[in-house]
């Protein structure tokens, strides 16, 4: 710790006020050490305990080429959900046999890309996709290993936008016997596809193991039925991600082993009871790996008090760099990075700078008295912040700085105003007045 500035907030051992000064704000800050710690917990508490199991980082939570390198060197697999995520992994030199390709509406071009790179697993979302992938694999002379995504029909307690395990969902193949049997039969008969097993994903930011237990029981029962009816041997069970994290002091997160131990116990008990071979289990945490490893730094601007109502403290970012409060009512914690020695005597509402009433980052945050120039650090923004960033109001997206030990390195440039015009094809005509 740097004792020179006791009143400064330190994250991953570094002074965040200094960092804001060096790189400007708003700024995403990501700690490589914290990401690696989480990867290692998955390794020691899950992969080492259950040989043959696999863990994939769900890259939709946060992806960059540097992130691919970190995940690669920790020995994890990578879950991608689009040609864009796959392209990033390819460019970063991520081993393709460790890639799991997801998506409820993969295009033909994306399937061709997955096949041409021979990704390790394609998770097929609907029966028609089996035909599409078989045709693409046949044309390329490739053999592809697939998992079929099924709907476990369980409801995780979370925001309804991020629930996926319930019967009424756009993801996966419904459990209706006629539909699932036809899909499995088709996959088994596809000469270029090897059906290794099933995938489910219940939802995101879940804090209970019971839903995983229920989903595993459901899908293992399905395996037994399909063994009887079609002679299918299920070698793999992919149980998705969804492990919750700490956003505020109200949250009580669990280690990943809380979920994985329950999953593995249920898998083995079901295999015993149903007389099935124990499948290899895959998990796909995204938020749990990176969420708490990231924070966002902002600079305070306008401070406005409405007497008897509330004080709005506006910062230089907001909804475009963190859409989660507006989209899911997500709640975040924050500290005033340059006033860590002062008591939190006030209650303020942190507003973004967008022309949008819903652009509130945090309601009723306890802080010391705030003024223009203060640095606010919003915590646990490592997952689904940068990856969901947008340019509403033509605000350039923030830079990303990676902290490693006592080093800070720019990982992604701050977007410029010129960047915002990069795809404007008529700039020259507009400049010379011909348009």
**Total residues found in the chain within this entry:** 435
384 labelled ligand-binding? yes
288 near ligand LLP, judged by CB under 6 A = yes
Helix (H, G, I), strand (E, B) or coil at 16: helix
Q: How far is CA 212 from the centre of its chain?
A: 18
Binding mask of the shown chain, residues 180 to 209, with x at each position contacting ligand LLP by CB under 6 A? ---------------------x--xx----
Residue 237 has φ and ψ, to the nearest 5°, of -130, 115
The residue (of 242 and 320) whose beta carbon lies closer to ligand LLP is 242
The token pair at 371 is 């003024």
With CB under 6 A as the rule, give the number of residues binding ligand LLP: 22
Spell out the residues 6+ positions from residue 423 whose beta carbon is closer than 8 angstroms to its own.
Answer: none
Reading phi first (left if > 0) and then psi (alpha if -120 to 50, else beta), residue 318 is in left
Measured from the CB atom, is 242 or 279 closer to ligand LLP? 242
Candidates 8, 106, 121, 324: give the one binding ligand LLP (CB under 6 A): 324
Q: Which of residues 97-116 bind ligand LLP (CB under 6 A)?
A: 102
Is 223 noted as a catalytic residue in this protein?
Answer: no
Site string for ligand LLP, 344-383 (x = CB under 6 A): ---------------------------------------x
Of 203, 71, 190, whose CA–CA distance to 136 is shortest? 190
Among 26, 286, 320, 368, binds ligand LLP (CB under 6 A): 286
Closer to ligand LLP by Cβ: residue 212 or 243:
243
State the Cα–Cα distance between residues 60 and 383, nearest whole angstrom. Answer: 8
Is 240 a binder of ligand LLP (CB under 6 A)?
yes
- Footprint (CB under 6 A) of ligand LLP, residues 61-90: 61, 79
Structural contact between residues 16 and 37, judged by C-beta atoms closer than 8 angstroms? no
40 versus 161: smaller Cβ distance to ligand LLP = 161
Q: Is 152 in the site for ligand LLP (CB under 6 A)?
A: no
Selected from 8, 126, 287, 353, the binder of ligand LLP by CB under 6 A is 287
Q: Is 243 exposed, middle or buried (0-12, 13-18, 19+ CB in 10 A)?
A: buried
Cα-to-chain-centroid distance, residue 204: 9
210 labeled part of a ligand binding site: no
Does residue 378 contact residue 322 with C-beta atoms inside 8 Å? Answer: yes
User: Which of 237, 243, 203 is closest to 57 using CA atoms?
Assistant: 243
Contact 56, 79 (CB under 8 A): yes
Task: Please indicate if the annotation marks 284 as binding a ligand.
Answer: yes
Residue 310 assigned to a binding site: no
Minimum Å distance from CB 15 to ligand LLP? 29
Residue 428 C-beta: closest distance to ligand LLP, Å: 39
Q: In the bound complex, what is the minimum distance in angstroms from residue 39's beta carbon to ligand LLP?
A: 13
Supply the DSSP symbol for 414: P
Stretch that binds ligand LLP, among 19-27, 56-64, 130-138, 358-366 (CB under 6 A): 56-64
Q: What is the DSSP letter of 46?
A: I
The answer on whether 356 is annotated among ligand-binding residues is yes
286 is in an annotated binding site: yes
* Least separation in angstroms between CB 234 and ligand LLP: 18
The CB-of-344 to ligand LLP minimum distance in angstroms stands at 27
CA end-to-end distance (rounded Å), the chain: 58
With a CB cutoff of 8 Å and minimum separation 6, the contacts of 293 are 30, 31, 34, 35, 38, 382
The reply to whether 258 sits in an annotated binding site is: no
d(CA 433, CA 427): 10
324 annotated among ligand-binding-site residues = yes
Q: Among 241, 279, 325, 382, which residue sits at the site for ligand LLP (rule: CB under 6 A)?
A: 241
Among 112, 284, 321, 374, binds ligand LLP (CB under 6 A): 284
Q: Where are the beta strands (DSSP E) in 85-192?
A: 99-101, 121-124, 144-149
Query: Taking the CA atoms of the chain, what radius of gyration do you get in angstroms?
Result: 24
Instruction: Tell whether 242 is in a known binding site.
Output: yes
Contact call for residue 243 and ligand LLP (CB under 6 A): yes
* Ramachandran bin of 21, using left for φ above 0, alpha for ψ from -120 to 50, beta for the remaining angles: alpha
- The binding site comprises 242, 284-287, 324, 328, 356, 384
Instruction: Provide the binding-site residues for ligand LLP, judged by CB under 6 A.
Output: 58, 60-61, 79, 102, 162, 201, 204-205, 240-243, 284-288, 324, 328, 383-384
- The binding site for substrate comprises 287, 324, 328, 356, 384
- The binding site for pyridoxal 5'-phosphate comprises 242, 284-287, 384
Q: Which residue numbers are catalytic?
A: 355
């Amino acid at each position: 710790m740097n004792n020179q500035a006791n009143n400064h907030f330190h994250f991953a051992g570094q002074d965040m006020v200094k960092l804001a000064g060096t790189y400007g704000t708003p700024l995403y800050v990501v700690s490589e050490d914290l990401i690696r710690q989480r990867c290692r917990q998955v390794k020691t508490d899950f992969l080492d305990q259950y040989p043959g199991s696999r863990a994939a980082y769900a890259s939709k939570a946060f992806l960059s080429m540097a992130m691919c390198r970190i995940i690669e060197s920790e020995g994890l697999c990578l879950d991608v959900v689009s040609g864009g995520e796959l392209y990033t992994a390819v460019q970063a030199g991520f081993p393709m046999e460790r890639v799991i390709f997801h998506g409820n509406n993969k295009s033909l071009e994306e399937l061709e890309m997955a096949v041409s790179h021979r990704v390790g697993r394609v998770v097929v979302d609907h029966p028609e996709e089996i035909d599409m992938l078989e045709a693409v694999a046949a044309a390329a002379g490739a053999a592809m290993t697939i998992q079929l995504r099924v709907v476990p029909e369980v409801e995780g307690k979370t925001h309804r936008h991020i629930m996926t395990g319930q019967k009424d969902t756009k993801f996966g193949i419904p459990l209706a016997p006629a539909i699932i049997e036809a899909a499995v039969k088709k996959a088994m008969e596809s000469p270029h596809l090897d059906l290794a097993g099933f995938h489910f994903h219940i939802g995101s930011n879940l804090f209970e193991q019971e839903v995983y237990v229920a989903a595993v029981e459901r899908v293992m029962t399905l395996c037994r039925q399909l063994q009887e009816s079609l002679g299918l041997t299920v070698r793999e069970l992919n149980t998705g991600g969804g492990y919750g994290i700490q956003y505020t002091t109200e949250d009580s997160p669990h280690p990943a082993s809380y979920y994985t131990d329950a999953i593995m116990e249920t898998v083995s008990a079901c295999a015993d009871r149903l007389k099935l071979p124990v499948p290899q289990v895959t998990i796909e945490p995204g938020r749990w790996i990176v969420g708490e490893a990231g924070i966002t730094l902002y600079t305070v601007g306008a401070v406005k008090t409405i007497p008897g109502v509330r004080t709005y403290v506006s910062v230089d970012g907001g909804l475009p760099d963190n859409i989660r409060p507006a989209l899911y009512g997500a709640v975040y914690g924050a500290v005033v990075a340059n006033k860590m020695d002062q008591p939190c005597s006030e209650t303020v509402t942190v507003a973004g700078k967008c022309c949008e009433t819903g652009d509130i980052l945090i309601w009723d945050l306890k802080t010391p008295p705030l003024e223009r120039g203060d640095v606010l650090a919003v915590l646990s923004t490592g997952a689904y912040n940068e990856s969901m960033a947008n340019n509403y109001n033509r605000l350039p997206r923030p830079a990303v700085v990676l902290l490693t030990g006592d080093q800070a390195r720019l990982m992604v440039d701050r977007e410029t105003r010129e960047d915002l015009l990069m795809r404007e094809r008529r700039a020259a005509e507009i400049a010379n007045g011909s348009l």
